[in-house]
Amino acid sequence: KSDILALGGPKEVTLGVMGGGQLGRMFAHAAQQMGFFTAVLDPDANSPAGRISHHHIQTEYTDPAGLARLAEVSAAITTEFENVPAQALQQLAHTRPVAPSGAAVAIAQDRAAEKAHFVKCGVPCAPYAVIETAQQLAAVDANLLPGILKTARMGYDGKGQVRVKTPAELAAAWADLGGVSCVLEKMLPLALECSVIVARASDGSCVNLPVQRNLHRDGILVVTEVYEGNLPPALVERAVAAAKSIAKGVQYVGVLCVEFFVLDESHPASAGLGGLVVNEMAPRPHNSGHYSMDACDVSQFDLQVRTLAGLPLVQPRQHSPAIMLNLLGDIWPNEGRDGGVPDWAAVLALPGTHLHLYGKLDAKKGRKMGHLNITGATVAQVRATALEAARILG
Ligand code: ADP
Ligand code: MG
């Protein structure tokens, strides 16, 4: 541990990350700002984080030599995406501090284990059934329909999900998904979606970022808004308490994002659920927390560095209302095929715009290329700027 804090001394102190996507890149930037060196393990030669790190170990996530090399150069290791094999984290943990733990990541990797964890922590989630066999399929409670069938593993951005209305559609969807382990969730009437980012240290201290209100389109996050008055205070309080108890329940160390559904309580399908249900958790910083980079005095990536290095956690303070717009490949003219890009100059001419691009060279539909944070003196100003930016970006 003292090794980790030998910053500014004569030796390099390196923090390692499994995965080289944009979350790893922004973690590396935050770590480098504090004088850390960074190491990334990712097989892709062009990974956003690999390209900007001091070490890029270009192997598969399970490659023993790659993992050994990462452990050799790193004082401590974190992860940036949840599909990193939990065993790889457990292997690294033999020789180096690893946060979050492989055990916590393993729960978040499996929707069935994740929901069981929520239930254990006393936080309600959508009514659901685990479907691993034809018998379980046949025995599904009709009350769960209409519902969403989700693969238990490897889903993201709405992938691996099918909406089903009848038992026949459910059976067909399960077959289409290859008969793999799934959960069927009751389709809930959503009033809105929100998420909470917490950071928890090994001594149990836990802080949170202000609660994010999120808008998804086709299962992908498109807009996050965070400002006073955006959500009822009682709801914010409940969501933060639920996220903290979910973190505590796995002795979590690191940054955790917990996503929630706020239900439309006038709808009969909401009956008995209490208005707020947890959707899922991500054992890492999250797209919905990107606003913190420009609107808070400590960002979610700063928190990741602090939890990994055993540095003190302080409650972050938001100093500006914020709106984050995701920049998906869709807004590149002709999806980037003929080299055109959005009109960045027009966007940056608006006051309070902060452009973050991830260094990805090929725009594709639905691909997260960057995000635009918008800050300002007042909510009205931020909203007006966001509308104008959205108009420019199309
Ligand atoms: P992913 O892992 O791909 O983010 P989610 O389970 O978070 O998948 O689902 C993506 C989106 O689909 C959610 O943000 C929400 O808008 C919608 N959704 C998912 N489950 C339900 C549900 N049970 N009822 C209503 N909408 C849902
Ligand atoms: Mg989600």
Residue nearest ligand 1's atom 17 by CA? 219
- Give mean pLDDT, residues 78-98: 93
pLDDT band at 2 (very low <50, low <70, confident <90, very high): low
- Give mean pLDDT, residues 373-391: 98
Per-residue pLDDT tens digits for 327-345: 999 999 988 888 899 999 9
248 in a known ligand binding site: no
Distance, CA of 303 to CA of 313 (rounded, Å) = 7
Per-residue pLDDT tens digits for 221-240: 999 999 999 999 999 999 99
Per-residue pLDDT tens digits for 175-200: 999 999 999 999 999 999 999 999 99
Interval between CA 208 and ligand 1 midpoint (Å): 23
Interval between CA 57 and ligand 2 midpoint (Å): 29
Strand ranges inside the chain, DSSP E: 14-18, 37-41, 55-57, 76-79, 128-131, 147-151, 161-164, 182-186, 190-200, 206-208, 212-217, 220-226, 254-263, 276-282, 322-328, 353-357, 368-375
Arch. (CATH architecture) of 14-98:
3-Layer(aba) Sandwich (3.40)
- Give mean pLDDT, residues 286-293: 98
Q: Which ligand is nearest to the CA of 152?
A: 1
User: 127-186 domain in CATH 3.30.1490.20?
Assistant: yes
Distance, CA of 41 to CA of 15 (rounded, Å) = 11
- Give mean pLDDT, residues 74-91: 93
Give residue ranges with CB within 6 A of ligand 1.
126, 148, 150, 155-158, 185, 187-188, 190, 193, 216, 219, 259, 279-280
156 in a known ligand binding site: yes
- Give mean pLDDT, residues 297-303: 98
Q: Which ligand is nearest to the CA of 257?
A: 2
Per-residue pLDDT tens digits for 33-72: 999 999 999 999 999 999 999 999 999 999 999 999 999 9
8 A C-beta contact, residue 192 and residue 244: no
Residue ranges of the domains in the chain?
14-98, 127-186, 190-393
Helix 22-33, helix 300-309: angle, nearest 10: 70
The per-residue pLDDT of the chain, averaged, comes to: 95
Q: What is the pLDDT of residue 3?
A: 80
The fold of 190-393 is: D-amino Acid Aminotransferase; Chain A, domain 1 (3.30.470)
Q: What is the pLDDT of residue 316?
A: 98
Residue nearest ligand 1's atom 15 by CA? 219
- pTM comes to 0.96
Per-residue pLDDT tens digits for 131-178: 999 999 999 999 999 999 999 998 777 788 999 999 999 999 999 999
Structure tokens at 328: 């998906």
pLDDT band at 1 (very low <50, low <70, confident <90, very high): very low
